[in-house]
């Protein structure tokens, strides 16, 4: 028998908290300028599964790229070890309090994948650490670039990070044994800021097309608001074409070689963005090839787009875990905090070392190169 809940009170509490959140967004200040800081503290979070295994070589490469800045005191690396599923389950929290204090002491974070329990797992009903971090640090913009130069593909996805179904994903209710309800939230302020981030990027980078992706014909209140607000923001950017698509047809568009290279910048609510960016990464060469940025006004977190790869570990293939996604995220981080030369250097080496027909190829199986073999090859072309 499901636990009895006062679902009317639950809804009232959610509405009250979201209205308070809207007021906080209205009063928030401008983006921090990381380069103006005396010291930039970079937090390194290994996470679960293959996370620590791919973080170790990524940190070693970052340290070499920023060695002068570390020596001068401009950059400090801080390792944060407590964001594991075991610690989180023991604390009964998505992010234990002590760990979150360490996280907030950093300016930017580089994060490996973390386990999100499913219903019935031994870890209990713990919220996603990613969702908790995005909400706690207000990392509202998830940015994922995908490039396939030989096919003319240059996509940048702007996924709203703090709303939609994920914002309240652990707060659903089982009204009876026969009825379960989850909650979806879209706000004007939350949509405005992700839309402005996307259009500002398009304008700064010479992009001529921004595509809004929803299911506004069916989900009329929330998706309807998202579409309406994005279009209104787009009116302030003359010279940029704005179109809108439904999520189902856009997933098809991305695999249609006749039209997919016509798209440039995308704006999506949280859930759709999560799904379609994994599809886009797979088109690029797999989720192990793409990095991800989570941007807020005062913090930023960069991560691999893939999960903890439990099957890889269970099959005894952890030595073959591909670090490229985390390395791409590291390059995005370097760019965001003002070290563009180092970012370009890392991206250039990754581009070269992951081209087809290279002598060292990772394929995630025991037939390809190991992680250490690939990292050695990468460093030979990087330093």
Structure confidence by residue, pLDDT tens digits, 215-262? 999 999 999 999 999 999 999 999 999 999 999 999 999 999 999 999
Residue of 10 and 129 predicted with greater confidence? 129
What does the block give as tokens for 140?
């509202």
Question: What's the whole-number mean pLDDT along residues 144-162?
Answer: 94
Tell me how far apart the alpha carbons of residues 92 and 88 are, in angstroms, rounded to a whole number: 6
pLDDT score recorded for residue 1: 43
What is the overall mean pLDDT for the chain? 92
Structure confidence by residue, pLDDT tens digits, 63-93? 999 999 999 999 999 999 999 999 999 999 9
**31-139+296-383 and 140-289: same fold?**
yes
Q: Give the residue among 106, 102, 123, 111 at the shortest CA–CA distance from 52.
A: 111
257 close to 251: Cβ distance less than 8 angstroms: no
143 close to 158: Cβ distance less than 8 angstroms: yes
Percent of the chain topping pLDDT 70: 98
155 close to 263: Cβ distance less than 8 angstroms: yes
Mark 189-218 as b/e (b = at least 16 C-beta within 10 Å). Answer: bbbebbbbbbbebbbeeebeebbbbbbbee
Question: What's the whole-number mean pLDDT along residues 143-166?
Answer: 92
Q: At 186, give phi and psi (nearest 5°).
A: -135, 130
DSSP letters for 30-99? PPP-GGGSS-EEEEEE--STTHHHHHHHHHHHHHHHTHHHHHHTSEEEEEE---SHHHHHHHTSSS-HHH
Dihedral angle of Cα 211, 217, 223, 226, to the nearest 10 degrees: 50
pLDDT score recorded for residue 366: 79
Residue of 182 and 6 predicted with greater confidence? 182
Query: What are the residue ranges spanned by the domains of the chain?
Result: 31-139+296-383, 140-289
pLDDT score recorded for residue 204: 93
Question: What's the whole-number mean pLDDT along residues 279-292?
Answer: 86
DSSP assigned state of 325 = H
Give the model's confidence band at 4: pLDDT under 50 very low, under 70 low, under 90 confident, else very high. Answer: low
Right CATH number for 31-139+296-383 from 3.40.50.2000, 3.40.50.1000, 3.40.718.10, 3.10.129.10?
3.40.718.10
pLDDT score recorded for residue 371: 94
**What are the E-state strand segments in the chain?**
40-45, 75-80, 108-111, 141-148, 153-160, 173-176, 179-181, 209-214, 241-246, 265-268, 291-295, 300-304
State the DSSP H helix or E strand holding residue 312, giving kind and residue range, or none if neither: helix 310-314
What does the block give as tokens for 379?
């460093």
327 close to 350: Cβ distance less than 8 angstroms: yes
Structure confidence by residue, pLDDT tens digits, 313-357? 999 999 999 999 999 999 999 999 999 999 999 999 998 998 766
Architecture of the domain made up of 140-289? 3-Layer(aba) Sandwich (3.40)
pTM for this predicted structure:
0.86
């Amino acid at each position: 028998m499901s636990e009895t809940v006062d679902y009317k009170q639950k809804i009232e509490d959610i509405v009250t908290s979201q209205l308070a959140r809207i007021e906080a967004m209205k009063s928030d200040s401008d983006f921090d300028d990381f380069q103006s800081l005396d010291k930039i503290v970079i937090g390194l979070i290994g996470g679960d599964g293959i996370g620590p295994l791919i973080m170790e070589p990524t940190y070693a490469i970052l340290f070499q790229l920023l060695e002068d800045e570390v020596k001068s005191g401009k950059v400090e690396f801080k390792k944060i070890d407590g964001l594991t599923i075991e610690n989180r389950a023991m604390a009964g929290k998505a992010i234990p309090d002590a760990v979150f204090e360490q996280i907030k002491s950093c300016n930017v974070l580089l994060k490996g994948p973390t386990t999100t329990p499913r219903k019935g797992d031994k870890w209990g009903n713990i919220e996603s650490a990613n969702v908790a971090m995005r909400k706690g640090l207000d990392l509202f913009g998830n940015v994922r670039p995908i490039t396939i130069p030989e096919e003319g593909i240059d996509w940048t996805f702007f996924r709203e990070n703090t709303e939609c179904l994920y914002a309240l994903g652990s707060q659903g209710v089982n009204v009876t044994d026969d009825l379960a309800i989850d909650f979806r939230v879209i706000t004007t302020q939350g949509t405005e800021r992700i839309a402005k981030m996307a259009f500002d990027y398009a304008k700064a980078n010479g992009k001529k097309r921004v595509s809004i992706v929803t299911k506004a014909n069916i989900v009329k209140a929330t998706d309807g608001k998202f579409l309406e607000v994005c279009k209104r923001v787009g009116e302030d950017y003359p010279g940029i074409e704005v179109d809108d698509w439904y999520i189902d047809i856009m997933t098809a568009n991305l695999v249609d070689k006749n039209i997919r290279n016509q798209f440039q910048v995308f704006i999506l609510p949280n859930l759709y963005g999560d799904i379609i960016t994994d599809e886009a990464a797979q088109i690029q060469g797999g989720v192990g090839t793409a990095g991800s940025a989570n941007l807020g006004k005062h913090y930023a977190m960069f991560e691999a787009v893939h999960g903890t790869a439990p099957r890889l570990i269970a099959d005894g293939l952890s030595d073959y875990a591909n670090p490229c996604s985390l390395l791409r995220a590291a390059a995005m981080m370097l760019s965001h905090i003002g070290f563009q030369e180092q970012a370009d250097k890392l991206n250039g080496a990754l581009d070269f070392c992951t081209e087809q027909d290279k002598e060292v190829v990772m394929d995630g199986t025991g037939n390809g190169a190991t992680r250490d073999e690939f990292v050695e090859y990468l460093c030979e072309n990087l330093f």
